[in-house]
Amino acid sequence: MKKIKKLLPLISLTLFFLSWELFVQLKQYPDFILPPPTKVFLRFLTAFENKNLFYHLQATLTEIFFGLALGFSLAFLAGYLLAKSKLGENLFFPLIVGFQAVPILALAPLLIIWFGSGILAKIIVCASTLFFPVLINSSVGFKNIDKNLIDLISSLEANFFQRLIYLELPASLPIFFAGLKIGVTLSVIGAVVGEFVGADRGLGFLINLAGGLYDTPLRFVAFITLSFIALLLFYLVNLLEKKLIKWR
């Protein structure tokens, strides 16, 4: 039964691509409208062989990596500070929620103007997309620590770092990881949005380029590559969660 459960994602993907292939063959759509998976796969091989896909993939992965590092660090720190300070929460939380209400697609052009069309602007766009869910879950995680445990560690005269390492971090991890799973998938969107607005490489740039050339199979190659990046990041976070909170 466990083996079947492990195969379910693969079975689901196989059925999806078979249905897609059958649908296109029945409707006889031209490739520039909806290419079949076989054509997309052949286009993937071409892009892989001439290293065009790798060139753009490398740029997007770099933006995602640094965007995750920046967004995660700031959101985790801000979440901790807001959880510990009622005054800080009342002062800054409305601003943070208001910032979240601004569509990232509308904000990205301004960031490009302010920080230039280089990688820094894309990293900031990427970090902005994951900041809010990680911040909220971090704050909630630190707030929901059992009061009895806080009283216990206080009675043992634990200092700030002992309290943080032995109680606050472990107790907040389950809720924190729920936000991080959302954040890592959103970071992929953030990187692509930044590339849409202004870039000369990256998968977002490749999607725009393929659209201008009516090379729809190449666009699907980029779409599927982005989906697999998001899936990989999600499962890596899931694996890390299982390793760090076995006690759960």
Statement: 34-244 belongs to CATH 1.10.3720.10: yes
CA 222 to chain centre: 16
pTM of the model: 0.84
Q: Residue 64 corresponds to which tokens in the numbers above?
A: 């995602």
Tens-digit pLDDT profile for residues 65-79: 999 999 888 988 888
Question: What is the model's pLDDT at position 226?
Answer: 92
The structural domains of the chain, with segments of one domain joined by +, span 1-30, 34-244
Neighbours of 187 (CB within 10 A): 28
Nearest to 131 by CA among 65, 175, 69: 69
Tell me which residues of the chain have a pLDDT lower than 50.
Answer: none
